[in-house]
C-alpha cells in the first residue's frame, strides 16, 4: 500500500486541463492545508524544542538529517541559524543524502544509501550530547531512518518529522511528529504540501529552541550577526531600544562589542567591554538574565 504522500487524490483528476485560476486555487488550498497541519502538533513541537535545547544548552550540537526535498528544507533552516540567532556553524551538522554539493541524479538515488548515513554518524561522532532533527515526507527514507536509529542508539536526542501517519520515523525517533499535510495536489510531489509543512515546522521548532537558549530578547534577534549595511542599522536600532540610549551611543557600544548586540547592550548600560563579556558568559549568552545580574 502506498504511503499517504503517494496517494492519488481523485478530486484533482483532469488537473492538467483546468483553467489557470482553478489550477492555482487547488495548489493554494494545498499549501493552506499544509500550514494548518502544524496546529494539532504544537504541543509536540514544544516537547521537541525542550529536548533539543536541553542537549544544546549542555554544549551539544544540532544535527539535521534528510534526503531530497526534505533534506533541502532541513539544510535551509540549518544554514540560517547563524545569521539569525548567532548559533555557531561548528555546532551545526547537516547530513544530506548525496552530500551538500550533490548533482540532481545523485540527489535522488542517494536516499537509499544507509551505509553513507552510518559513515556520517560515525565520522561526526554523533552521541548523547547531541540533538537530531530528521525529516522525511514518507517517514521511511532509508538514509534518514537509519541515521535516526543509529543516532538514538548512540544516545542522541532525536526528533522525526514526517507526513505519513504510518511512517517508521515516528517511532524510530524519541519524539515523532506527524504533519498531516494530506495527499499532494500533484500526486507524490512532496516539494509542495509536505515540503511546506516541513519548512514551517522546522522554522518554528528551531526558533523556539533558539529562544530557550536566550538568543531572543522580546521579539528581537539579539544573537544575529550584523554582516551587512542593513543589519548594521538593525543592530543599532535593537541596541538603542533595549539599552534605552540614542543611536550614537548604541553604535559606539556595538563597535566596542565587535557588533555583538548582547554585549553592546551591557556596554551601553555602563559595563566595560571585558566585564560585559564575562557577565554574558555567566548566563550562557542569555541577555535578559545578564541584564538582571547585580554585582
Would you state the pLDDT for residue 3? 61
Residues in the chain: 295
- The one catalytic residue among 6, 7, 111, 278: 111
* Chain segment 15-64, per-residue pLDDT in tens: 777 898 998 988 888 888 888 999 999 999 999 999 999 999 999 999 99
- The one catalytic residue among 29, 80, 128, 227: 80
* Chain segment 195-236, per-residue pLDDT in tens: 899 999 999 999 999 999 999 999 999 999 988 999 999 999
Strand order in the sheet with 62-66: 92-96, 62-66, 131-135, 157-162, 175-178
Query: Which of 64, 84, 47, 87 has its CA nearest to residue 202?
Result: 64
Task: Look up cell 535545547; give the residue.
Answer: 53
Is residue 103 among the annotated active site residues?
no
What is the arithmetic mean of pLDDT over 116-131?
96
Judge whether residue 186 has pLDDT over 90.
no
Is residue 272 among the annotated active site residues?
no
Would you state the pLDDT for residue 65? 97
Residues of the chain above pLDDT 70, percent: 92
Would you state the pLDDT for residue 5? 60
What angle (nearest 5°) sits at the alpha carbon of residue 130, between those of residues 90 and 118?
90
Which neighbouring-strand residues pair with 220?
A: 217
Amino acid at each position: 500500500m502506498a504511503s499517504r504522500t503517494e496517494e492519488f487524490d481523485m478530486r484533482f483528476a483532469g488537473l492538467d486541463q483546468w483553467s489557470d485560476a482553478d489550477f492555482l486555487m487547488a495548489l493554494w488550498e494545498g499549501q493552506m492545508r499544509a500550514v494548518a497541519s502544524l496546529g494539532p502538533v504544537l504541543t509536540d513541537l514544544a516537547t521537541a524544542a525542550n529536548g533539543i535545547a536541553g542537549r544544546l544548552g549542555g554544549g551539544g550540537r544540532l544535527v539535521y538529517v534528510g534526503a531530497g526535498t526534505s533534506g533541502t528544507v532541513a539544510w535551509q533552516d540549518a544554514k540560517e541559524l547563524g545569521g539569525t540567532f548567532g548559533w555557531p556553524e561548528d555546532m551545526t551538522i547537516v547530513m544530506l543524502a548525496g552530500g551538500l554539493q550533490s548533482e540532481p541524479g545523485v540527489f535522488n538515488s542517494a536516499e537509499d544509501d544507509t551505509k553513507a548515513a552510518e559513515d556520517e554518524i560515525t565520522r561526526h561522532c554523533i552521541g548523547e550530547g547531541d540533538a537530531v532533527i530528521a525529516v522525511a515526507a514518507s517517514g521511511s527514507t532509508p538514509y534518514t531512518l537509519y541515521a535516526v536509529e543509529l543516532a538514538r542508539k548512540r544516545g542522541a536526542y532525536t526528533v522525526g518529522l514526517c507526513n505519513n501517519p504510518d511512517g517508521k520515523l515516528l517511532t524510530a525517533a524519541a519524539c515523532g511528529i506527524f504533519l498531516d499535510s494530506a495527499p499532494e495536489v500533484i500526486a507524490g510531489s512532496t516539494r509542495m504540501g509536505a515540503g511546506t509543512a516541513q519548512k514551517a515546522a522546522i522554522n518554528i521548532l528551531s526558533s523556539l529552541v533558539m529562544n530557550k537558549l536566550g538568543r531572543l530578547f522580546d521579539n528581537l534577534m539579539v544573537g544575529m550577526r550584523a554582516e551587512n549595511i542593513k543589519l548594521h542599522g538593525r543592530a543599532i536600532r535593537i541596541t538603542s531600544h533595549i539599552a534605552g540610549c540614542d543611536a550614537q551611543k548604541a553604535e559606539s557600544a556595538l563597535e566596542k562589542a565587535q557588533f555583538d548586540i548582547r554585549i553592546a547592550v551591557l556596554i551601553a548600560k555602563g559595563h566595560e567591554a571585558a566585564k560585559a563579556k564575562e557577565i554574558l558568559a555567566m548566563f550562557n549568552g542569555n541577555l535578559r538574565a545578564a541584564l538582571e545580574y547585580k554585582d
